[in-house]
Chains A and B, each alone.
Chain A
Amino acid sequence: MDALSMPENRLLEVRGLTVRFGSVVAVKDLSFHLDRGETLAIVGESGSGKSVTALAILRLIEYGSQGVIEAGEILFRRPDGSVVDLVRQPERVLRGIRGDAISMIFQEPLTSLNPVYTVGNQIAETLVLHRGISWDEAMETALEMLRKVRIPDPERRLRTYPHEMSGGMRQRVMIAMALACRPSILIADEPTTALDVTIQAQTLELMRQLQEEFGTAIILITHDMGVVAETADRVVVMCRSEFVEEGPVGRIFAAPQAEYTRLLLDAVPRLGSLADTPYPKPFPLPGAEAPAETAPPSDRPVLEVDGLVKRFPAAGGQVHAVESVSFTLSAGETLAVVGESGSGKSTVANLVMRLTEPTDGAIRLLGTDITGLSHRAMKPHRREMQMVFQDPYASLDPRRTVGDLVGEPMRIHRTESRATVRDRVAELFGLVGLSPDQMRRYPHQFSGGQRQRLCIARALALHPRLIIADEAVSALDVSIQAQIVNLMLDLQSRLGLSYLFISHDMAVVERVSHRVAVMHLGRIVEIGPRREVLANPRHSYTQRLLSAVPVADPAARGRRGRSLAVGDIPSPIHPQGYTPPPVRLRAAGPGHFVAEE
């Protein structure tokens, strides 16, 4: 086959692509192709080289970080039918293609839009550049594009700045900008990763509809197997800069050829996979013994929260962050608190930890009301509960050795003598699966998963009864996430811990929890046994939330109703003096309560 020829239906063909940043090879000998109108997903965990591949197609890696395409060809069929090798085109030609025939959207819609120009300006700019039309005409088209991405009140939105919009709306603007010149290829790099799950569902549906309307082929870069299963026609799997396998989405999920793909799919939590048991269950990972269900919890309450309220002032009134939240948590039990951003779930964690002072309500830890206790009086109670944070990079002081960090709780509380601190730290390292001879290293020398193990070791140092995990596995790659979840379940059964597990990820919540509380706008709208709430949701919000979760099973695609709703998550900010309506919960089953709507 001649170097510059492709089958008629083919838009893009990457052959033997190798990209290098300094001494690091980021993509190694990668080949794939894209046909007209199809959606190709490139999946992989962090460091797999998937995003570099996306940038390399547009030759954007050569700026700033100074990446170099060392070998390979990127054949592209231009709209006029001619085929060019993008690797060998001069900058001038590439500029004509970027944003016109091939355009791109990114993960962070906030930082990807220029903060000092209006949305209309940024969309129109592309049109003026590639279509050579006047600014007025371009603004007209920009307005039409905003309508197409279904942004409410587009005339006004045209003149607003990116910071005045929500994340979902910003991503719609990015899509409008990318599609303005009707490109033949749209490259979407983790387009919904930064969005809440209901907004993600809307955005994916929008992209699907626009793809139909515009006939655009999409290259979707993602780590999320659920998103892949819902949107892709074909899949390329990458791992550590290398090609792993390629195939139609159904085949990849049903019969993965590569060992890596199989392990990756095993680690993906699937909502509904635990419908047969009321108890948490570890992921089936290699090396781990047959996943045992963890022991049923006792009914001795460890934590009782009663009528918790937190409001704080904000521009334009008051944030009703938490309103009348009540729940109990027993020994050995996991209560998951789920919700989207602004639901107040993290505020609940901070209130229980007494990192934030509640406006009203009571928190009883092992029977003692700890609200209003002074710093000194609170100190002994803190031994009973500890916290694990979301970002394993930010929650360890970078300037101290990890041994020092894990030993710090014992030094602050003087629970061990100087001599025994070391032994206890070594013991804790063993407990979370780290080697004690790593004690003298610094946090930056550990991977994300290892750091989260360190955080758990630190939390366990004082023999607590309760661990509050605030999005503790959300920032991790799925394979690491599965390991940490298994570790937490293992520790729970060995030490009888209770977990207050704060998360936005329903599938993970299903794995770890006995009971679930769904929060929306600062309130618990539904709380009950995990199996009940997930299988039989009663509150409309819970139902919406569950239906928005992407299902990691291509066969299930289209089985549930698609909504083209355009919504923002409503704001919990109300004017000063606003009195929220009282929360009334009614029983929907044993231990299952639903807020009246």
Chain B
Amino acid sequence: MTSIARAVLYRTAHVLGLLLAVLVFNFLLIHLAPGDPAQVIAGDMGGATPEVLAEIRTRFGLDLPLHEQLLAYLGRVLTGDLGYSFYFDRPVTALIGQRILPTLILVLSALVLAVVVGTVLGVISARWPRSWFSHALTVLSLAGYSAPVFWTGILLLILFASVWPLFPVTGMYSGIGDRTGISYLIDVAHHLVLPAFTLAIVYIAQYSRLSRAAMLDVLGSDYIRTARAKGLGEGKVIFKHALRNAILPVITMAGLQFSNLFAGAVLVETVFGWPGMGRLAFESILRRDAPTILGILFFSALVVIVANQLTDLFYRLADPRIAGKGSR
């Protein structure tokens, strides 16, 4: 029991350390940026008045020594205060709180889509590596990750807006959002199809290649030979003995790439008008709104860290070989 407790403690300290590093990094960025920190914090809001700048200086104690400012900053973050957006005229925490859920919905559905579809395609292609399907998948996956995600998004948007209006192309819900219950969920899901698919394309391409390679590798391994020597049918060989081993590299990769997926959401949300954190990032960047964009960076890092820990946990469940060992 104590070893588990120690592992949990170690992990928590590790996570907190990473978060602290992100905060210090954020803090330093504002002060390292060229120009007056007060101006940086105020952002490009159409001529920050001297009064606003003065207010910022007193509020953030910009005249104090740097280390005192850092401590004050960390203290504020602890109480949930990530700063104030002068452009949006609202606290950053509130702004992000409003936008985080749509982003999580988008990113997680894209992730699930990518892992499931990518793995299925990869496994089929590895089972018949010389088939036309396998060749077509190789070509398609190359194309899939060569196309810029925002461009694919726009092409899909043209297709579904003017040619084949099957899915809504903008926003997260219809009308003024007055639906409730199941009907609301269906509406959101309907709006989710295009952005989630667009975001997933690149990763479907990658995971299909990855799982194809892993599956080919596993199918050539000794324990698959053993499984066949037992007289198991192809279904059991593939789905019981091979798949669980072949999916391990996909899990690792999905964990490592979670932050990329999060970044991709910025572009996809911008294209499809999805009201998430990515779109907020885009809006705040247009106005050089530093507190908001830094808050988003911190929040994304937080989500990525949590996601990485979950991936790790999941990996441990899937692979008994590392279950008993320390942090990877």
Direct contact of A and B (CB under 8 A): yes
- Residue numbers of A with Cβ under 8 A of B are 55, 58, 60, 63-65, 94-100, 103-104, 106, 108, 111-117, 125-126, 129-130, 161, 163, 174, 177, 315
13 pairs across A/B with beta carbons < 8 Å? A64-B219, A65-B220, A94-B231, A97-B231, A98-B230, A99-B231, A103-B229, A103-B230, A115-B321, A116-B245, A117-B241, A126-B231, A161-B321
Q: Mark B137-160, 1 if CB is under 8 A from A, else 0.
A: 000000000000000000000000
Q: Which among A64, A97, A114 is the interface contact of B223 at CB below 8 angstroms?
A: A114
Report the Cα distance A141→B227, complex, angstroms: 19
Residues of A within 8 A of B245 (CB): 114-116
Residues of B within 8 A of A106 (CB): 222, 225-226
Chain A nearest CB, measured from B38 CB (Å): 53
Does the CB pair B231–A115 fall under 8 Å? no
Does the CB pair A113–B226 fall under 8 Å? yes
Does the CB pair A116–B219 fall under 8 Å? no
Q: Which among B222, B227, B320 is the interface contact of A161 at CB below 8 angstroms?
A: B320
Does the CB pair B230–A114 fall under 8 Å? no
Central interface residue in A99, A100, A130, by most chain B CB within 10 Å? A99
Report the Cα distance A114→B321, complex, angstroms: 11
Report the Cα distance A302→B245, complex, angstroms: 52
Report the Cα distance A195→B273, complex, angstroms: 64
Report the Cα distance A94→B325, complex, angstroms: 41
Does the CB pair B321–A64 fall under 8 Å? no
Residues of A within 8 A of B233 (CB): 95
Does the CB pair A126–B320 fall under 8 Å? no
Does the CB pair A100–B231 fall under 8 Å? yes
Does the CB pair B222–A116 fall under 8 Å? no
Q: How many residues on the B side are at the interface (Cβ–Cβ under 8 A)?
A: 22
* Residue B76 CB within 8 A of the other chain: no
Q: Closest chain A residue to B233 by CB distance?
A: A95
Report the Cα distance A106→B319, complex, angstroms: 23
Apart from A98-B229, A114-B227, A174-B226, what are 15 other A-B pairs with CB-CB below 8 Å?
A55-B225, A97-B231, A99-B232, A100-B231, A103-B230, A111-B221, A111-B222, A112-B225, A113-B226, A114-B226, A114-B241, A115-B319, A115-B321, A116-B318, A116-B321
B residues 241-255 near A (Cβ < 8 Å) are 241, 244-245
Report the Cα distance A97→B231, complex, angstroms: 7
Q: A111-B222, A116-B318, A116-B319 are in contact. Are A177 and B230 (CB under 8 A)?
A: yes
Chain A nearest CB, measured from B122 CB (Å): 17
Report the Cα distance A100→B220, complex, angstroms: 23
B residues 194-219 near A (Cβ < 8 Å) are 219
Does the CB pair A126–B225 fall under 8 Å? no
Chain B nearest CB, measured from A95 CB (Å): 5
Q: Which among B219, B229, B321 is the interface contact of A58 at CB below 8 angstroms?
A: B229
Does the CB pair A163–B320 fall under 8 Å? yes
Report the Cα distance A103→B321, complex, angstroms: 27
> Interface of chain B, helix or strand or loop or mixed?
helix
Report the Cα distance A111→B225, complex, angstroms: 10
Chain A nearest CB, measured from B223 CB (Å): 4
Q: A114-B241, A116-B318 are in contact. Are A129 and B231 (CB under 8 A)?
A: yes
Instruction: Please list the 5 inter-chain residue pairs (A to B) with the smallest Cβ-Cβ separation, ordered nearest first.
Output: A99-B230, A98-B231, A99-B231, A111-B222, A114-B223
Q: A98-B231, A126-B230 are in contact. Are A113 and B223 (CB under 8 A)?
A: yes
Does the CB pair A99–B321 fall under 8 Å? no
Q: Mark B275-300, 1 if CB is under 8 A from A, else 0.
A: 00000000000000000000000000
Report the Cα distance A333→B174, complex, angstroms: 90
Does the CB pair A96–B231 fall under 8 Å? yes
Chain A nearest CB, measured from B216 CB (Å): 9
Q: A112-B223, A114-B223, A115-B223 are in contact. Are A60 and B229 (CB under 8 A)?
A: yes
Report the Cα distance A363→B225, complex, angstroms: 48
Central interface residue in B223, B231, B245, by most chain A CB within 10 Å? B231
Chain B nearest CB, measured from A124 CB (Å): 11
* Residue B228 CB within 8 A of the other chain: yes
Residues of B within 8 A of A114 (CB): 223, 226-227, 241, 245
Q: A114-B241, A115-B320, A115-B321 are in contact. Are A64 and B220 (CB under 8 A)?
A: yes
Does the CB pair B231–A111 fall under 8 Å? no
Report the Cα distance A65→B233, complex, angstroms: 18
Does the CB pair B229–A104 fall under 8 Å? yes
Residues of B within 8 A of A315 (CB): 325
